[in-house]
Amino acid sequence: MTDDSAAVGAAPSAAHEVQRLLRPDLRGRTPYGAPQLDVPVRLNTNENSYPVPQVVVDAVLRALSGDMATLNRYPDREFTELRKALTAYLEKQSGVAVTPEQVWAGNGSNEVLSHVVQAFGGHGRVALGFTPSYSMHPIISETLGTTWVDGLRSAATGPDAFDLTPESAARQAREHDPSIVFLCSPNNPTGTALPFEVIGAVLDAAPNALVVVDEAYAEFARPGTRSALTLLADHPRLVVTRTMSKAFAFAGGRLGYLVAAPELVDALRLVRLPYHLSSPTQTIARVALEHADVMLGTVEVIKHQRDRIVERLAELGARPVASDSNFVLFGGLRDEKAAWQALLDEGVLVRDMGIAGHLRVTAGDPHETTAFLEAMTRLAPTHVDRQEPTA
């Protein structure tokens, strides 16, 4: 009797088969991810440390009770009531009046960014961003078949680290003739708001491109920081993206959105999946927006903790970057990986962004911020390459 398995030969491993069949440009890549560790102080993903207020929880539960019996039906494909709520919030927060037809939403800002790249990127087209910046911009672009170009920022250190000037941004935009340009204000991971002139310079220098201004952390910006929303009326190629994950303490709710010309929003319908926002998602986000004042009640506290971090790290000899977000990038570390591990050993999880000599820390609640700063005070003599201030 013949052993059929022996006759055929050993079956290939699943790993081998998956790699053989995977798109060649995805082989060897690593997925996006940040460590999710069970530690006393978790300050690595820029979440809002405060739980959703009970009054909002109760309102959400009441609203959801009406959704449960109708889950046999598809949700509102156009998320009409949610768009109205978003426009009302934006006008109150930014002073800019927009219409529901200008608003698009998805399951987190990454989904709306994906819609933009699906519709306006693709094979033979270029997306330009200025590194270091949000790591999902190149991941979304490249996995959707768009060529990614890493633009350059300033190599300066200290408070001017990683600046982007209008002249530099425009020169690089002209050089690469992109279809999409990504700008972040405030920028992640540096935390710095974008000089407003950069947006106009890029719009002028890249006439064939959508210019996407990612304002995920806009609510944390210091007074006087302008929003790109003010430019929308005059620039049909401008897109402003935002999220409810950060200031709204809504990371688990997964709701991101963009604002653009109605014609541009209409084009995104060509690539969205049918009924991409569930009924519960729409309801939860709408109720949260109705309680925006309560949901945003911790923003000023978080900004104070952010400024505490900047001030104390400077005193310890590190080189923090002045921030308009809910996190702080700081340099001056002898070995960022060793410093990251030393903080973890102290029970504090921060983010290693892959930038030599730098780590990023989220501004948590007062207890978490104090725990981080006390740990850094103990670790600074070993891990901070202290530089005395110059006269």
CB atoms within 10 A of CB 134: 20
Are residues 251 and 309 part of one domain? no
Are residues 350 and 230 part of one domain? no
Residue 120 placed within a domain: yes
Q: What is the pLDDT along the chain (391 residues), one digit of tens a residue?
A: 455 544 556 778 998 899 999 999 899 888 887 778 899 999 999 999 999 999 999 999 999 998 999 999 999 999 999 999 999 999 999 999 999 999 999 999 999 999 999 999 999 999 999 999 999 999 999 999 999 999 998 765 555 668 899 999 999 999 999 999 999 999 999 999 999 999 999 999 999 999 999 999 999 998 889 999 999 999 999 999 999 999 999 999 999 999 999 999 999 999 999 999 999 999 999 999 999 999 999 999 999 999 999 999 999 999 999 999 999 999 999 999 999 999 999 999 999 999 999 999 999 999 999 999 999 999 999 999 876 544 3
Contacts of 376 (CB under 8 A, 6+ apart): 312, 313, 316, 318, 343
Range of the domain at 332: 41-50+298-383
Among the three residues 249, 269, 295, which one is the final residue of a domain in this structure? Answer: 295
Residue given tokens 């708001």 in the structure block: 193
Are residues 133 and 233 part of one domain? yes
Q: What is the CATH number of the domain that holds 355?
A: 3.90.1150.10
Are residues 168 and 133 part of one domain? yes
Residue 204 placed within a domain: yes
Are residues 348 and 202 part of one domain? no
The total of structural domains in the chain comes to 2
Are residues 197 and 319 part of one domain? no
Among the three residues 295, 317, 344, which one is the final residue of a domain in this structure? Answer: 295
Are residues 284 and 306 part of one domain? no
Are residues 181 and 276 part of one domain? yes
Q: Residue 132: which H helix or E strand, with range?
A: none
Q: Which two tokens stand for residue 306?
A: 């952010």
Residue 35 placed within a domain: no
Among the three residues 252, 276, 295, which one is the final residue of a domain in this structure? Answer: 295
